[in-house]
Chain A
Amino acid sequence: MSTTATLPTHTAKKTPVVAHHFDDWTQQYDACVLGMWTFLVTEVMFFGGAIAVYMIYRWQYPMAFAYASQELSAPLGTFNTFILLTSSLTVALGVRYAHTGESRKVGWMLISTIVLGAIFLGIKAYEYYTKFEHNLAPLLNLPFDYAGPDPGPTKIFFGLYFGMTGIHALHMIIGVVLMALYIPAAFRNEYRDGNSLGIEIIGLYWHFVDLVWIFLFPLLYLVDRSLAAPM
């Protein structure tokens, strides 16, 4: 190792360049995180509006929602939740590796997260496909055939299902694209100095997507399963 003295040592961390309107790196870091949280709060209100609609209709047609929820696959939903929670872990580890300056590990964690996100979206696409196949998609003036009671509220349930999981999937697609943009920098070893701000921000976004799903999963897939179970 004595012959490679010109290489930067692992411990010598360079302070990231601070934008001119910030006093120091900590201030810039906190400001960016606060800005991201402000955006996430607007996202909370965005999904909150959909949840409010869901709340009112479920309150008015509880049994129709219970029977409609039976049409969704609980095993697939559970598996998807498992996949998304795991992707949340990988992105959390990625952020931590960015903090500790292990840049290539950040890259691998981002790739893992993208793969897990793609698996989630693939399963979601398959679920959508089965709904279209069973004529349970209230979209594009397609025929909606539901043999059970209350086809009207059932149609509303599936409208909410497609709407809420659809905007959630859109958020995931955006997240996957954004994370893919960070991978080259990670493998160029650009996070070796603990310059983790970008990774921290995309991590916050991905965790938020995970948070939304934590609520969507029981609200859509597990509505009164015990009541609607076949006698």
Chain B
Amino acid sequence: MSNTEEHTGLGTYFLVYALLMVGLIATVAVAYVPLGSWNLVVALLIAFTKATLVVLIFMHVLNSPRLTWIAVFAGLIWLSIMLSLMMADYATRTWLPTRAPADMAIPSYRELVPLSDDAVHAHGHGHGEAAHDEAASEEAAHDNEE
């Protein structure tokens, strides 16, 4: 509250307190109602409502300058980024095919960028023709595998 001469009325505090109590009773009551996965959603919605009341009225954010609002929303946004990206990671891990650990080894540069025919040819000049053919056929076999 930037202007200390402005006071939130006592009645407002008691009203918020009463609403928080209603929220508490609702949270406990709803927890025993079988709603499946909606139980968590409802519990979090009630918790967010209670939290909003506490932040806006008890913590005076409603009557605070915009700079305070920015700080509050920064916390909310960073928290949601952390939770949503972490959940996105874990929730999508099963989307990828399961691979054997040996296949997950980092490929070598030569596996990623095979020698071109010209390079094989140029490279083969220093060696016997047989060695060159062998290397070329190996290269071809490797390509077929891919």
> What residues of chain A have their CB less than 8 Å away from a CB belonging to chain B?
25-26, 29-30, 33-34, 37-38, 40-41, 44-45, 48-49, 51-52, 55-56, 59-60, 74, 78, 81-82, 85-86, 88-89, 92-93, 95-96, 99-100, 194, 196, 200, 203-204, 207-208, 210-211, 214-215, 217-219, 222, 224-227, 229
Chain B residue with the shortest CB-CB distance to A95:
B60
Say yes or no: B1 contacts A99, CB within 8 Å.
Answer: yes
Complex Cα distance, B40 from A196, in Å, reads 39
Some 8 contacts from A to B, beta carbons below 8 A apart, are: A34-B71, A37-B75, A85-B17, A88-B58, A89-B17, A96-B7, A203-B58, A218-B27
- A40-B75, A226-B32, A226-B34 given as contacts; is B51 within 8 A of A99 (CB)? no
* Interface of B: prevailing SS: helix
> What residues of chain B have their CB less than 8 Å away from a CB belonging to chain A?
1-5, 7-8, 10, 13-14, 16-17, 20-21, 24, 27-28, 31-35, 39-40, 43-44, 46-47, 50-51, 54-55, 57-60, 64-65, 67-68, 71-72, 74-76, 78-79, 82-83, 86-87, 90-91
User: Which of A41, A48, A96, A194 contacts B82, CB < 8 Å?
Assistant: A48
Chain A residue with the shortest CB-CB distance to B8:
A96
Chain B residue with the shortest CB-CB distance to A49:
B82
User: Which of A56, A78, A81, A211 contacts B51, CB < 8 Å?
Assistant: A211
User: Which of A26, A45, A48, A194 contacts B2, CB < 8 Å?
Assistant: A26
Say yes or no: A48 contacts B7, CB within 8 Å.
Answer: no
Say yes or no: B24 contacts A222, CB within 8 Å.
Answer: no
Q: Tell me which residues across on chain B come within 8 A of A95, comparing CB atoms.
A: 60
- A194-B4, A218-B27 given as contacts; is B83 within 8 A of A55 (CB)? yes
Complex Cα distance, B54 from A59, in Å, reads 28
Say yes or no: B4 contacts A48, CB within 8 Å.
Answer: no
Say yes or no: A88 contacts B83, CB within 8 Å.
Answer: no
User: Which of B4, B21, B27 contacts A29, CB < 8 Å?
Assistant: B4
Say yes or no: A93 contacts B71, CB within 8 Å.
Answer: no
- A44-B75, A224-B39 given as contacts; is B33 within 8 A of A30 (CB)? no
Complex Cα distance, B2 from A33, in Å, reads 9
Shortest B57–chain A CB gap in Å is 8
- A26-B2, A96-B8 given as contacts; is B54 within 8 A of A214 (CB)? yes
Q: Tell me which residues across on chain B come within 8 A of A33, comparing CB atoms.
A: 2, 64, 68
Chain B residue with the shortest CB-CB distance to A89:
B17
